[in-house]
Structure 1
Amino acid sequence: MRRREFGRLAAATGAAAILDSWETSGNRLGATDLRRLLDGVDALELADQRAGGAPLVSIAVEQLAVAKSRLETCAFDTPTGNAFTSATGELAVLAGWLAFDADMHPLARRCYSDAMSLASEADDPDLTAHTCLYAANQSIALSKTGEASPHHALKLIERARDLMRGRPPGRIHALIAIRRAQAVGLLGDRKAFGRAIATAWREADQAAEHESLEDCPRWLRFVNHTELRGHEARGYGRVGDFRKAVELFEAAATEQAEMRNAVNARAWLASARAAVGDLGGALLEAAPVLEELDKAVFSPRTVKVLQPVRRAAASLPAGAEFRERFDALTQRVITA
C-alpha cells in the first residue's frame, strides 16, 4: 500500500469510529459525544500534518454534516450544547482548511461560513477568531490571482485581534501578527510588513516562554519559529526582496517539521530560487518535492507553489524531466 493511501485509510478509520459512535449513542448529546468529536478533529488534524489535506476533505465534510445534524435533532443541556456547537465549529474550520489545501476554494468558504455561524450560536470568541484567521489566510492566497482582496483579509485579522485583545501572551497573538504581515506584504507595504513581522517574532518569543504546548489549543500548536520564518520569507518575496527570501527559506527548510509542512517549505525554497534566476538550484530543490508529492503528501496547494519553477524550466533542456513529472502530477491532482 502506498504511503498516501495508508494515510487516507488511517484517517478514514478514525472518522468511521466517530460516525459509528454517533449512530449508536442515542438521541441525547453528552460528554462522551463531545469527547469523541474532539478526538476525531485531532485525528484528522494529525493525518493532515502527515499527508496533506486533499485525501481527508470528504471525511471531514461528512463528519461535519453528521455533527450539524446531531445539533439539530438531539436533546442536550445548555453547557453541553454550547460545547458541542463549538467543537462542531472547530471541525468546520478544519474542513475548510483541508478544502483549501486541496484547492477546493468554494467548499472552503462554505465551511468557514458554517464555522462563523456556529461560533455566533455558541457565543464563542475563540472560535470566531480561529475562523477569521483561517478565512483571512484563504483571502491572502487568492489575492495573488485576483480572486480575493488583502483588504478583506485585513478586516478579518482586525476582528480576530479585537476579540483576543487583553489575552495573556500566547501563540494566538503571534498568528494574528503573522496574518497581518502576510496581508500587508501582498499590498507591497514593506514598512508595515517589517513592523508586523517584528511583532510576530516578539509574540512568538513571549508564547514560547509563557505558554506550554499542553496549555495551547491544538490548532495553534503549529505556530512556532519555523512556521514564522517561512512566512517571513514569503513576505520578503512579496515585497520584492527575493534574495532575503531565499536565505530565510533555506533556514526554514533545514528545521524539523511535520511531513506536509516540510515538503511545502522546500517547494517555497525552490520557487524563490527560480525568482532570483537560480534555475539549477530551483530544479535541484524541486525534484525531491515532486517525489514526496507523488508518493507521500497529497497537497494541491503545494503543487501550485512549484508553478514558477515549471515556468522557469519551460525553455531549459535540463528541465525536461521536471516539466514532464510536474505536468503529470498536476493532471492527477485535477482528476483526483
Structure 2
Amino acid sequence: MDEIPGWALRLRAERRERLWSQRQMARALTEAADESTRAHLPTRESLIRMIKDWEKGRHQPKDPYRVLYCRAFDLPEAELFDLANKTARKSPAQVLAAFMPEGDPLSRLPAGTGRRVGMGTVQDLAARVHGLRLADDVIAGSDLIRPAFRELDAAVRLYRCGTHTEEAGRALLVNIGELAQIVGWIASDAGQHDQATQTYQLGISAAREAGDGSLEANLLGSLAYQIANVGDAQESVALTRAALDAAGRHASPRIRALTWDRLAWAHARAGEAQPAIRALGEASAALASTAGAEEPSYLYWVSPDELQVMEARAYTELRRPLRAVPLLTEVLTRYDATHVREVALYLSWLSVALADANEPEAAAHTASRMLDMSADLSSDRTTQRARVVLARLKPYADVPEVRELLTRYPMSA
C-alpha cells in the first residue's frame, strides 16, 4: 500500500486534535463557507465520503475545499497543505518535558502570582476532564496525546499559579489526579510507557495531597496494569495490592471491583491461576454491591460486561480457552460498536482463545475482523495485539484460511 502523503495525515491529525468526527468535520466545512459557496456544496453524506478520500491521500482537496479547511482549522494554506518545510512535530516525550515544570510539578508559586480560581473554574475543568475521558472511548492514543498533555499542563499551571481557597485547591488536585490518570492511559495506548509512568506518578502525588484514596487506587492500578502488560508481572501484583490498600475497606464498590480486576490480570500475566480466579471472584462480589452507592464519575465504564471481558482475558492468558471463548463471544454481541479499539482488542483475545482451542478457521476469521477493524487506529495496544494474534496462528499456516490471513498481513506477523 502506498504511503499516505503528509498533507493527508495533517488533515486527519488536525481534525482529531479537535476531537471531531468526520461528520463533524463536514459540518465545520459547511459552516466555514459563505452563503453563495454553501449553496453549491454537495450533500453532507457526499462531503463525508470526500473527507475520507482526502484523509487517505487519494487526491488533494481543491478550491473551495482548501479554503474551507483553512477557515475551519484557522491555519494558513501553506502550513496545512505543504509540510515540506515544516519542523517535525515534537515527540510525546518532548511534549511532556516542555509542559511539566522541573522539580516538584505540584509546588505552589508565591501567593499573588496568578488569578483567583473559584469553584466555577474547577467545575469547568472537571467537565473538560470528563470530555477527554469520553473522547478516549473512540479516539486512539497517538491521536489524543498532544491535546491530552495540553490539558494536563493547563490544570497544573492553574493549581501552581492561581490563588484559591483550601476547598478549591483540593478540588483542583482531584481534577489533576483524574486528568493524569486518563492522560497516562492515553500515553500508554500510544506506546509511550515512560511518559505514562511519569504522568501516573504525578497523579498519585495529586491524589495523596488531596487525600482521595479511591483516586490514588485508580492511578496505582492503572500504572500496575501497564506494568503487567509491558514489564514485570510480579511487580504489577505488588503495586495492585498497594492500590487495594490505598482504596481501603470503605472505598466505592466500583473502585474495589476495578482494582481486584487489575489484580486478577496481574496474576494471570504471572501465570498464577488460582490467585487470578480468586481475584476475579472478589471483583464480581464488589460490583454486585453497587446498589445505592455513590461512585466517582470516572468509573462510569466499570460494568458487568467489562468484568466479563477481563475474566475471559485472564482465562485466555492462562490457556483455558473453553472458559474464555463463550464469555468473549457473548459479551461481543452487545458491546458498543463505536468503541472500535476495545472491540478490536477483545476480538484479538477471542482469536487467540480459538487458536488455543484448536479452531484455526474460526480464529483466522476473528483475526481478520480484528485486523481490518484496527487498520486505521493509532494505538500501540492494537498493533502489539495484532502481532500476538498472528504469531499464535503461524503454527496453523497450512490451513487455507490462516495461510490467506498471513499472506495479507506479513509485516504484522
Shorter-chain TM-score: what band?
Answer: 0.7 to 0.9
Match of 2:51 in 1: none
State yes or no: 1:271 paired with 2:352. Answer: yes
What is the DSSP-based 3-state SS (H/G/I as helix, E as strand, rest coil) of the residue aligned with 1:45?
helix
Gaps in structure 1 of 5+ consecutive residues: 17-25, 143-147, 332-336
Q: For the residues of structure 1 that align with 2:247 and 2:204, how far apart are their CA atoms?
A: 16
What is the DSSP-based 3-state SS (H/G/I as helix, E as strand, rest coil) of the residue aligned with 2:219?
helix
Match of 2:158 in 1: 70
Give CA-to-partner distance per residue, 1:40-72, whole Å, 9 cap, x none.
111111111123333111111121122212222
TM-score of the aligned structures, taking structure 2 as reference length: 0.68
Match of 2:264 in 1: 181
1:53 paired residue among 118, 141, 155: 141
Give CA-to-partner distance per residue, 1:141-188, whole Å, 9 cap, x none.
12xxxxx22222222222222233332662111112111211222232
C-alpha displacement at 1:93, in angstroms? 0.9
Match of 2:167 in 1: 79
Distance 1:12 1:77, change over 3 A: farther
Contact 1:313 1:320 in 2 (8 A): no
C-alpha displacement at 1:242, in angstroms? 2.4
Moved more, 71-80 or 310-319: 310-319
Gaps in structure 2 of 5+ consecutive residues: 1-7, 22-72, 74-113
Contact 2:315 2:323 in 1 (8 A): yes
Letter of the 2:333 counterpart = T
What is the DSSP-based 3-state SS (H/G/I as helix, E as strand, rest coil) of the residue aligned with 2:375?
helix
Letter of the 2:182 counterpart = L
Moved more, 73-82 or 267-276: 267-276
Match of 1:21 in 2: none
Distance 1:4 1:319, change over 3 A: farther
Match of 1:230 in 2: 309
Match of 1:306 in 2: 386
Letter of the 2:360 counterpart = L
Letter of the 2:316 counterpart = G
Match of 1:202 in 2: 285
C-alpha displacement at 1:138, in angstroms? 0.7
Contact 1:8 1:56 in 2 (8 A): yes
TM-score of the aligned structures, taking structure 1 as reference length: 0.82
Structure of higher CA gyration radius? 2
Letter of the 2:302 counterpart = V
Q: For the residues of structure 2 that align with 1:219 and 1:278, how far apart are their CA atoms?
A: 38
What is the DSSP-based 3-state SS (H/G/I as helix, E as strand, rest coil) of the residue aligned with 1:50?
coil
Residue-pair matches, total = 309
Match of 2:320 in 1: 241
1:163 paired residue among 246, 250, 255: 246
C-alpha displacement at 1:108, in angstroms? 0.7
Letter of the 1:47 counterpart = A
Q: For the residues of structure 2 that align with 1:252 and 1:102, how far apart are their CA atoms?
A: 26
1:288 paired residue among 369, 374, 384: 369
Contact 1:290 1:325 in 2 (8 A): no
Q: For the residues of structure 2 that align with 1:203 and 1:7, how far apart are their CA atoms?
A: 40
Match of 2:25 in 1: none
Q: For the residues of structure 1 that align with 2:198 and 2:267, how far apart are their CA atoms?
A: 25
C-alpha displacement at 1:12, in angstroms? 7.2
Letter of the 1:277 counterpart = N
Contact 1:178 1:200 in 2 (8 A): yes
Q: For the residues of structure 2 that align with 1:113 and 1:196, how far apart are their CA atoms?
A: 25
More helix per residue: 1
Higher RCO by CA contacts (8 Å cutoff, separation 6 or greater): 1
Match of 1:135 in 2: 223
Contact 2:316 2:352 in 1 (8 A): no
Q: For the residues of structure 1 that align with 2:172 and 2:393, how far apart are their CA atoms?
A: 50
What is the DSSP-based 3-state SS (H/G/I as helix, E as strand, rest coil) of the residue aligned with 1:114?
helix
Give CA-to-partner distance per residue, 1:8-34, whole Å, 9 cap, x none.
244279xx9xxxxxxxxx722222321
Q: For the residues of structure 2 that align with 1:65 and 1:169, how far apart are their CA atoms?
A: 29
C-alpha displacement at 1:265, in angstroms? 1.5
What is the DSSP-based 3-state SS (H/G/I as helix, E as strand, rest coil) of the residue aligned with 1:195?
helix
